[in-house]
Structure 1
Amino acid sequence: MLANVNRNTKVRREPFDALDFIPWNDHHRDAETAEPLLLDDPEAHSAMIDRMLFPRRNG
């Protein structure tokens, strides 16, 4: 990877990996320890999922 060519080994000892450049990677790392977000109201829960999947859609 070209990113490792210019990597400052004093600041970052471990080489970069392909997952370091995927924006949602930290989310996947944290998902293993995260608690699920569950709402009591099924309609509100559905609306929350809809907003997360389609944030720019009006609704």
Structure 2
Amino acid sequence: MKEFHCGSLVPGCDWHTRHDEEAEVMRRTVEHMRQAHGEDTIRETMVEAIRSRITNAQKAA
């Protein structure tokens, strides 16, 4: 399971997502960046920044 926490890229944002596939985490994150943060153009540098912050989800205890 992969996860992304937007606050790791945009300080103060509590949004997060998780999915089995990194590609789906990326798709959801790009959509969030467009809707919540007004990012009309997602440049390669932003894609790289998002990808570098996708982590393996911690298993619930």
TM-score by length of 2: 0.30
TM-score by length of 1: 0.31
Give the number of the structure with larger relative contact order, counting CA–CA contacts within 8 Å between residues 6 or more apart. Answer: 2
Structure ranking higher in strand proportion = 2
Work out which of the two has the higher radius of gyration on C-alpha atoms and give 1 or 2.
Answer: 1
